[in-house]
């Protein structure tokens, strides 16, 4: 999902604030994370969303490997819900 700026998802025009809660579903399982501007603002092993260097919204696990832990592969459907 491309981000227009550090806090706005485009083309949806959804504004995210630091610590905005986001629920996501992948592999038919629901999980929660938060939006942050820096990894340093997240706890160890916390799931977070952030603007990546390519300008897209990225999902990560601080000091972990979320893709490996959840068996996430490129092209999989991910459903997001801003809480």
Beta-bridged to residue 14, according to DSSP, are 9
**74 within 8 A of 65, measured Cβ to Cβ:** no
What is the C-alpha to C-alpha distance for residues 49 and 34, in angstroms, rounded to an integer? 6
**16 within 8 A of 33, measured Cβ to Cβ:** no
What is the pTM (predicted TM-score) of this model?
Answer: 0.76
Q: Length of the chain in residues, anyone?
A: 83
pLDDT, tens digit, 9 for 90 and up, residues 21-58: 999 999 899 999 999 988 888 899 999 998 888 778 88
């Amino acid at each position: 999902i491309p981000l227009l700026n550090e806090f706005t998802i485009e083309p949806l025009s959804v504004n995210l604030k630091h610590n905005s809660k986001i629920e996501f579903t992948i592999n038919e399982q629901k999980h929660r994370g938060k939006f942050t501007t820096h990894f340093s603002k997240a706890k160890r092993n916390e799931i977070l969303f952030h603007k990546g260097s390519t300008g897209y919204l990225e999902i990560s696990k601080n000091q972990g490997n979320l893709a490996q832990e959840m068996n996430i592969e490129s092209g999989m459907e991910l459903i997001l819900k801003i809480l």
